[in-house]
Chains A and B, each alone.
Chain A
Amino acid sequence: MTTMLGLSFKALAVAPETFATLVACVFLLVVRAAIATSGRTLIRSTARLLDAAIAFLTILFLILVVIRFSVLA
């Protein structure tokens, strides 16, 4: 666990924007899955906003990863 935490902090230090985007995206995905699984229905505009935020963060994360690969490799 210490190793994992250490590596996570290292990742946060070397690429904070990528790490933060990843965490935010996973958080929203978990929220979306939790709401859907629990049977609650969101109003359409909220559901669309949530989906759009997830799509935006996923694409942003992939772009940041590609940039990181192309810059460092």
Chain B
Amino acid sequence: MMSASRGASPTQRVLSILPMMMGFGGAVFWLIAVHQANYAAMNPFGLVSVMTWTFYAAIVMAVTGFFLELMGTNPRTGRLVALIVLMIMIMFGTAPAVEPVASLYDSWLHAGFIQYVIDHGRPLSHFDARFSWPGAFSLGAVVSAFVGRSNALGFLRWFPPFIELMYLAPAIVIARSSGVDRRAGWLGVALFFSCNWIYQDYFSPQALNYLFYLVIVAAVLATWRPRPLELDGTARPTLRHRLALTRRSLSTQRLGGHDAESTWSSSLTLAILALLCLILLASAMSHQLTPYATILALVAMLLGRRLGRPELVIVAGLFAVGWLSLGASDFWLGHLNAIFGSIGRFGGTITANVTGRITGNADHRLIVNARILEVVVLYLLAVIGAVRRRAESRSLEMLAASAFLLLALQDYGGEGLLRVVLFGLPFVTLLAASAFLPNRSGATRPVGRSGTSVRSWSVHHLGRRVSRALAAMVLLLFFTVTFAVRGGNDAFESFTTGELAASEFVYGHAKVGETIWMATPFMPTNFRNIDSMPVKIAAYQTAKSASTVDFDLFTLLSAHAHWIVLSASQAAWGVQVGGYAKDWMAPFQATLLASGYRVVARWSTATVLHLGPMK
């Protein structure tokens, strides 16, 4: 390598270091962009509205640098990792760098759950469904205590880029072990981080469990490889032959794991199995949905000749059902219908998950529609990739499809489809990358006319250079659109220091037993005293879409709330999602003041009201 470098011409040397120079330039532009961003100027389009041109220059430089390295004669792993890390920081680190405090109400609530575990040494019963799966909260309490903190608030703000960086290692292993072309694998990893607008990486059990999910899939794909299929090597398989191969995926031989073989020694395979069992146990105790997504992924890998031990599927199922039955009985006692009510209602669940989310004003609907369009385009590319690529096994397609079965089990409060996209994302992005860079070896051949190989189709009809240029443009487009739609809710999901100070003020002055309310969701609150001073939300007392300003007022007044906190984020949610009138907060506050409430503290973005004078 050294001698080759010494022998290279000055032009070649410049070309060789150009990707890293682009990456360095991208990093500098990104730092300037986050420094220049004016959070106070945010409009209903969210984070994207406060970014200057330097931010987009950073995106173009990072993506271009990545592509130059990827399409060079000898793509270097270290450089590709460094450029993807930069892309992760741009995509997921911009919000924490620009916004004054951690975003999303739920991340603050989870810190409150952890605070309770730290204070009491156990989860709180009959308070929230999430406490029936307390594994992640217990881990949060342990880590908080380990680093000498009395709460988990310090972890909230930078958690999204941290956990996304943690996803990188299993994502690379999945790409390397899934049987796609090497360059397609790296492109798939870049697409994985460039298409993740789903925002399930905030401080939450699902973010941790998604890491478990990726690690389990990566470990299985790296440990077992498919045994060669008995195919006629010369002839293109007929339709009958393909159907016979498909039927074989349900044979006893396949279900027994005999069609896969371990790539490691028996002792190492055994150690991996033991570790996977531990991770499955931790996952079963930590999240409601991820264990079932993991089971579906394991089944997909078993049927796709990538899992050699079927016991792992049964163990995963036993842990998940066992915890639901024994550990989570607080959750299902009295409302079992919430778990089993939507089983088999596939069509109804999809309708509820799509149409139920296209709500709010025109600005918000534009963001939601852009998200849906991005997913549709990504899946279309994945279909093209599945058709074009050759492979030893169709496990990647099975993994991508298996996530959809979750919808047949649970609508997950209208978020089921989001989770399907999330759990399928690592595989769908690899398939989408194969649309541009299809693998050219493997027993399972692409669908197409007899005698037409992928190579000839690629070279003569599309052209390798055009294909690669298209891939670069698609990555750039996905990255930019994802950034825009991911931060599209930040006008109400991100918070100001004034809103945090209002919450702190209430916690500092409220007495045990007093009630604290908000008009609509979205405030940094519920991060302490969740048992003695839980903060309630008027708009959540009915179905979210059915809430009105009058209903919220009626709820607050009839509850005789001791404390009411009103804020800019709540006002923005009402306008953008709740369908409330513009400037609804001013008459709302006036009505409360006329009903006996007094303003006891005020910031530019938050107001604290108290029923009667403070004592």
> CB distance B122 to A6 under 8 Å?
yes
Chain B at the A interface: mostly helix, strand, loop or mixed? helix
Distance (whole angstroms) from the CB of A47 to the closest CB of chain B: 11
Contact of A37 with B333 at beta-carbon distance under 8 Å, contacts A22-B318, A30-B315 already known: no
Check A36 for interface membership: any CB of B closer than 8 A: yes
10 other contacts beyond A1-B138, A33-B312, A73-B334, with CB at 8 A cut-off?
Answer: A11-B326, A18-B322, A18-B325, A25-B318, A26-B315, A30-B277, A36-B309, A37-B309, A38-B267, A61-B318
**Complex partner residue of A15 from B285, B325, B334, CB under 8 angstroms:** B325
With CB as the reference atom, state the residue of chain A lying closest to B340: A69
**Chain B residues within 8 Å of A, Cβ to Cβ:** 117, 121-123, 134-135, 138, 141-142, 262, 266-267, 269-270, 273-274, 277, 285, 309, 311-312, 314-315, 318-319, 321-322, 325-327, 329, 332-334, 336
Question: Are A3 and B121 interface neighbours, CB within 8 A?
Answer: yes
Cα–Cα, bound, A52→B54 (Å) = 66
CB distance from A28 to the nearest CB of B (A): 9
Chain A's nearest CB lies how many Å from the CB of B256?
10
| A59 to B267 CA separation, bound complex (whole angstroms) | 30
The 8 A-B pairs at the shortest CB distance, nearest first, are namely: A11-B326, A73-B336, A33-B311, A3-B138, A29-B311, A65-B325, A22-B322, A37-B270
Chain B residues whose C-beta falls within 8 Å of the C-beta of A68 in the assembled complex: 325
A55 to B333, CA, bound (A): 28
Instruction: Out of A3, A36, A72, A73, name the residue touching B117 (CB < 8 Å).
Output: A3
Q: Which secondary structure dominates where chain A touches chain B? A: helix
Number of interface residues of A (CB under 8 A): 33
Counting chain B CB atoms within 10 Å of each CB, the highest count among A29, A34, A37, A61 belongs to A37
Q: Are B285's CB and A37's CB within 8 A?
A: no
Residues from chain B with a CB closer than 8 A to the CB of A62 are 321
Write the A37-71 contact mask toward B (1 if CB under 8 angstroms, else 0). Answer: 11100000000000000100010011001001100
* CB-based contact B134/A7 at 8 Å: yes
Complex: how many Å from CA A18 to CA B327? Answer: 12
Contact yes or no, A32 B327, CB < 8 A: no
Enumerate chain A residues within 8 angstroms of B142, measured Cβ to Cβ.
1
Partner of B332, one of A15, A61, A73: A73
Please give, as numbers and ranges, the residues of chain B lying within 8 Å of A32 by CB-CB distance: 311
User: Contacts of B336 on A, CB cut-off 8 Å?
Assistant: 69, 73
A29 touches B315 (CB 8 A): yes
* Distance of A2 from chain B, by nearest CB (Å): 6
Select one of B122, B319, B321 contacting A65, CB under 8 A: B321
| A37 in contact with B266 given A18-B325, A30-B315 (CB within 8 Å) | yes
B117 cross-chain contacts in A, Cβ below 8 A: 3
Contact check, B135 vs A4: say whether CB atoms are below 8 A apart: yes
Bound-state CA distance A38–B325 (Å) is 33
Q: A18 to B141: give the CA distance in the assembly, Å.
A: 29
CB distance from A50 to the nearest CB of B (A): 11
Residues of chain A lying within 8 A (CB to CB) of residue B274: 30
List chain A residues, Cβ under 8 A from B315.
26, 29-30
